[in-house]
Structure 1
Amino acid sequence: MIKVMLVDDHQLLREGLKTILETTNDFEVVAEATDGQQGLDALAKVTPDIIILDIRMQPMDGITMLRQLRAQQNQVPVVVLTTFDDQAPIQQAMQLGAKGYLLKDATRETIIQTLHNALNGQVALEAEIAAKAFQPATTTTAAPLSPQNQAILTAVAQGYHSKEIAATMHLSERTIKAHLTQIYNDFGVFTRAEAVAYALKHQLIEI
């Protein structure tokens, strides 16, 4: 039996996925979490064979969890499940080692096949979003970051928290958060992961 962890903040979606998976003869849901931190905590107690992970969650989103898994050298394959099919998070999830990318309206057959492909070491994406994952990044020009904001966002991309960044840069944590808010407003985004994805997409930072 293949052991699955579900990490998604929507209970109805988790229940739907659990029903789909457990009506097969192959899969068993052994853990559920509502955000990335809960997912990381659950991994201390269970060892799934595969993780189905949402991108947009609070307080810890899926990109951040993927980054933490990579830092820990955790080899459990991850399939990203989301309604958000923009190019940047697809590419970022792939860069962080995700083995598949499913839209939340994927069919039962597509979900099952994608999980099997990921378990076999194949990077599995739905055909309709595969082009987005591998096409060159857009050449749209974005306003450059100030040196200070570039340093802050680079540190965020490397997984550092505001308190750690503040200590390194000899600034207050409140000041770091104010700079991040300014970056979010400039980029038109709402989370750290989206800000990092935008900056990477437009080559404003390097990690």
Structure 2
Amino acid sequence: MKILIVDDDGLVCKSLKVLLSREKDMEVISTATNGAEAINACRKELPTIVLMDIQMPVMDGIQATRQIKSEWPNVHVMMLTTFQDEKNIRLAIQAGAAGYLIKSTEVKSMSQKIRALVSGSTVLDADVLKQLTQPAGRETQEKLTPRERDIAALVAQGLSNREIADQLYLSEGTIRNTLSIILEKFQLRDRTQLAIYYLKNSK
């Protein structure tokens, strides 16, 4: 997979490039120091995944993520930052990021999470989840059928449609259709927002 690293700290870019390039299935195709450079890099050589910092000069990571997902919806964006506040987390996810990791994450773990995200899973750091999963009632349980509830729970665990289908002995088509119904019920855009919504509202 092709990786673009975006961070205004040159040392972070250089270190991650060296470490991630050791993974046989990963190639760091470029680095960028702000969101505008990241967009230009996407135009020149489309990456599989972008590792995106939040606070940067010229254009921040959230703005860049929004534009990248608008122009190249198949590009995966993983926020990689020091910020753990709920506002930034939610803004990043609303912009289209499907993952949110803290920079202190070990590279081996990071590479595993990158693979999981590219395969279709939602990836959220454990500390990030704590910010988003405070109990807020049982609305999710009340609105969903038992099958919908099972699927939503597995989405919240980060499973892909294929993995959910295998676990519930259903077809991928059934999972996709049911997932669309769930998203419509709660007016959510994608499985990342569903995972967060479910975890927050099913305590």
TM-score calculated relative to the size of structure 1: 0.62
Change (3 A) 1:73 1:50: closer
Residues 176-202 of structure 1, C-alpha deviation per residue, up to 9 Å, x if partnerless?
xxxxxxxxxxxxxxxxxxxxxxxxxxx
* Structure 1, unaligned runs of 5 or more: 138-207
Q: Percent identity, aligned pairs only?
A: 37
Residue in structure 1 matched with residue 43 of structure 2 by the alignment: 44
Change (3 A) 1:28 1:39: same
Q: How many angstroms apart in 2 are the aligned matches of 1:10 and 1:111?
A: 18
Aligned pairs for 1:22-101 (under 5 A) are: 22-101=21-100
Change (3 A) 1:71 1:113: same
* More helix by percentage: 2
CA root-mean-square deviation? 1.6
Deviation at 1:74, TM superposition (A): 2.7
Q: How many angstroms apart in 2 are the aligned matches of 1:109 and 1:67?
A: 28
Residues 135-188 of structure 1, C-alpha deviation per residue, up to 9 Å, x if partnerless?
479xxxxxxxxxxxxxxxxxxxxxxxxxxxxxxxxxxxxxxxxxxxxxxxxxxx
Aligned pairs for 1:125-136 (under 5 A) are: 125-135=124-134
Change (3 A) 1:115 1:81: same
Equivalent pair of 1:91/1:134 in contact (CA under 8 Å)? no
Equivalent pair of 2:69/2:75 in contact (CA under 8 Å)? no
Give the aligned length: 136
TM-score calculated relative to the size of structure 2: 0.63
Q: How many angstroms apart in 1 are the aligned matches of 2:10 and 2:20?
A: 15
Deviation at 1:19, TM superposition (A): 1.4
Equivalent pair of 2:66/2:95 in contact (CA under 8 Å)? yes
Residues 45-66 of structure 1, C-alpha deviation per residue, up to 9 Å, x if partnerless?
1011111000010010001101
Equivalent pair of 1:9/1:33 in contact (CA under 8 Å)? yes
Q: How many angstroms apart in 2 are the aligned matches of 1:52 and 1:20?
A: 14
